[in-house]
């Protein structure tokens, strides 16, 4: 049994390698697949034959121009079958459900944003709203729900991946919002939920694994403050899925009021509402809900800093120092080789940079703080969707029978036992 399990694991891994190569590089011949993946010709042939039988890849003749030196039949190229299966990516944020329909080639074929009222959304109302939004989205796209094999969800706030719910988020008025169970009840698809910053981390690893691998951290400064962690080449989310809540680690006991209801969180000094509150000289116990921040509030603050406004400059400098202290804790605990800063607030990094390094120097000895690199990355909301796609495709690629079973179910063949044999 152990040897069979080992063989199955090797097959899954090799299958994933082949599919990822086709997804990254496009159509190619078997011999090219072997060179890129470093798998033997026999292994490539066996895997691609299975994938052709399952309808997950297609064969086509090469369109290479013929020359007087080229003889014989054109080369046969292999490509992913885009319509073999579909996934849905959903991003949940304040007042918005962003949906994307993605084919097996990892291509986004349709997008839609649906509005909801975060101030009223709770455990009883939101699951139905999300399910209805997805059903309407698929109907508009002309895709039967049975063609969707996975639904991946990314949400702001504290996400429990193990229970499939959002424990707390600024996107909802209530707590413990069930997401995975209602979706799996409504659709014949596997469903997963992750923190949005974790998906940024996955996206970076997928886009440039040579740079973003091993142990690295992503810190997002935006509407809130989030973190994603890669530890020893694995996305780390902890025992319940709520790990790396950098923004809700305490900075000053009894300090400024955070949106989570606690006082002194890092988010209460680094998020957009915290910056606007400080620059406006509002009391630290001012309820974040009453502060007009967001994209426009942050833009106004940046404009003030650019014109030399002392209050705005002081606010960013103090935020930089707080960020330096926070980064020092991360370095001391996990020794990352790289830290990435992103989010809307990184537009203010030039005003924060000097004090950030000063805070890091104050908080951590040189022997520890000199072993990492810092990347400051302009914010792109597509990072979150890209991470959802990468995670879903990795799961699908390693599932020998999942895609085939979905396909069989779609055309009415109940032969899962035969496929598993």
Taking alpha carbons only, the member of 205, 201, 345, 381 closest to residue 270 is: 345
In angstroms, the CA 323 to CA 348 distance is 12
Residue 163, Cβ density class (10 Å: 0-12 exposed, 13-18 middle, ≥19 buried): middle
Give Cβ neighbours of residue 84 (< 8 Å, ≥ 6 apart).
54, 55, 56, 103, 104, 403, 407
In angstroms, the CA 150 to CA 302 distance is 40
Q: What per-residue confidence (pLDDT) applies to 11?
A: 86
In angstroms, the CA 158 to CA 166 distance is 6
Give Cβ neighbours of residue 129 (< 8 Å, ≥ 6 apart).
97, 116, 121
Count other C-beta atoms under 10 Å from residue 193's C-beta: 25
In angstroms, the CA 415 to CA 409 distance is 8
Give Cβ neighbours of residue 208 (< 8 Å, ≥ 6 apart).
none
Taking alpha carbons only, the member of 208, 211, 212 closest to residue 228 is: 212
In angstroms, the CA 13 to CA 17 distance is 6
pLDDT tens over the chain, length 421 residues: 556 557 788 888 899 999 999 998 999 999 999 999 999 999 999 999 999 999 999 998 766 555 545 555 667 899 999 999 999 999 999 999 999 999 999 999 999 999 999 999 999 999 999 999 999 999 999 999 999 999 999 998 899 999 999 999 999 998 999 999 999 999 999 999 999 999 999 999 999 999 999 999 999 998 889 999 999 999 998 888 888 899 999 999 999 999 999 999 999 999 999 999 999 999 999 999 999 898 899 999 999 999 999 999 999 999 999 999 999 999 999 999 999 999 999 999 999 999 999 999 999 999 888 899 999 999 888 999 999 999 999 988 887 444 444 444 433 333 333 333 3
Domain annotation for the chain: domains and CATH numbers: 2-60+76-80 (1.10.10.10), 86-200+382-420 (3.30.420.40), 210-376 (3.30.420.40)
Q: What per-residue confidence (pLDDT) applies to 172?
A: 94
In angstroms, the CA 38 to CA 193 distance is 34
Rg (CA), the chain: 24
DSSP string, 342-386: ESGGGGGHHHHHHHHHHHHHHHS-HHHHTS-EEEE----THHHHH
Taking alpha carbons only, the member of 121, 127, 151 closest to residue 138 is: 151
Question: Which phi and psi (to 5°) does residue 56 adopt?
Answer: -90, -20
User: The whole model's pTM is what?
Assistant: 0.84
Q: What per-residue confidence (pLDDT) applies to 3?
A: 60
In angstroms, the CA 151 to CA 21 distance is 23
């Amino acid at each position: 049994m152990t040897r069979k399990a080992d063989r199955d694991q090797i097959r899954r891994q090799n299958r994933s390698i082949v599919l990822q190569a086709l997804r990254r590089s496009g159509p190619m011949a078997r011999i090219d697949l072997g060179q890129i993946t470093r798998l033997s010709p026999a292994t490539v042939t066996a895997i691609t034959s299975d994938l052709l039988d399952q309808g997950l890849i297609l064969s086509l003749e090469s369109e290479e121009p013929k020359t007087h030196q080229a003889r014989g039949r054109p080369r046969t190229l292999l490509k992913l079958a885009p319509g073999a299966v579909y996934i849905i990516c959903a991003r949940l944020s304040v007042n918005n459900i962003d949906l994307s329909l993605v084919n097996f080639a990892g291509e986004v074929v349709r997008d839609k944003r649906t509005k909801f009222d975060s101030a009223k959304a709770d455990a009883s109302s939101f699951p139905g709203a999300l399910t209805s939004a997805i059903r309407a989205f698929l109907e508009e796209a002309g895709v039967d729900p049975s063609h969707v094999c996975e639904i991946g969800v990314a949400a702001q706030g504290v996400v429990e991946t193990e229970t499939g719910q959002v424990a707390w988020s600024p996107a909802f008025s209530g707590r413990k919002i069930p997401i995975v169970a209602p979706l799996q009840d409504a659709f014949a698809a596997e469903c997963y939920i992750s923190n949005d910053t974790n998906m940024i981390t996955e996206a970076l690893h997928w886009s440039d694994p040579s740079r973003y691998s091993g142990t690295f951290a992503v810190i997002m400064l935006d509407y809130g403050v989030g973190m994603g962690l890669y530890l020893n080449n694995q996305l780390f989310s902890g025992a319940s899925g709520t790990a790396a809540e950098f923004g809700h680690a305490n900075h000053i006991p009894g300090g400024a009021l955070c949106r989570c209801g606690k006082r002194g969180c890092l988010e209460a000094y680094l998020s957009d509402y915290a910056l606007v509150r400080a620059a406006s000289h509002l009391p630290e116990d001012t309820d974040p809900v009453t502060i007009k921040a967001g994209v426009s509030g942050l833009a106004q603050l940046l404009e003030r800093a650019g014109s030399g406004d002392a209050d705005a400059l002081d606010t960013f400098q103090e935020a930089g120092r707080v960020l330096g202290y926070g980064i020092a804790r991360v370095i001391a605990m996990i020794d990352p080789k790289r830290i990435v800063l992103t989010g809307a607030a990184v537009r203010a990094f030039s005003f924060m940079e000097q004090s950030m390094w000063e805070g890091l120097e104050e908080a951590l000895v040189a022997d520890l703080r000199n072993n990492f690199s810092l990347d400051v990355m302009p914010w792109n909301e597509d990072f979150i969707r890209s991470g959802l796609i990468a995670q879903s495709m990795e799961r699908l690629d390693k599932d020998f029978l999942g895609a085939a079973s979905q396909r069989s179910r779609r055309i009415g063949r109940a032969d899962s036992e035969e496929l598993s044999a």
